[in-house]
Amino acid sequence: MAELQQRMSSAEFEDWLAYNQVSPIGPERLDHLAALVAATVANANPFRKKGSKSVAVAAFVPQWAPKARASTPDDQLAYVKILHAMFGGSDERKKAA
């Protein structure tokens, strides 16, 4: 943790958290990519009945836990502020303005 604090500013950390909300970086992305391959194989299967509907990628994405309610931008901002305070960050963007 100390090394991360030395190498990355809290503002950059906040940017990565926001990016991860839009485009997941970790296992969620890998699950989606594997589901995409599985759906492609299933839909290209020559034994599929003609005229049958293609299988959606979502059918192959594993559901590891019950889905929580969708977070709002205000929820996300509150979470970032908590992390910001935990890591002792300062807002470099305000200083630059």
More confidently predicted of 3 and 38: 38
pLDDT at 93: 66
Residue-wise pLDDT for 25-75, tens only, equals 888 889 999 999 999 999 998 888 888 899 999 999 988 776 666 678 888
CA–CA gap between residue 20 and residue 17 (Å, rounded): 5
**Chain-centre distance for alpha carbon 72:** 15
CA–CA gap between residue 60 and residue 38 (Å, rounded): 7
- The model's pTM is 0.49
Distance separating the N- and C-terminal Cα atoms of the chain: 29
Around Cβ 14, how many Cβ atoms within 10 Å?
Answer: 19
pLDDT at 3: 83
Sequence ranges of the domains in the chain? 2-96
Tokens of 43: 């839909």
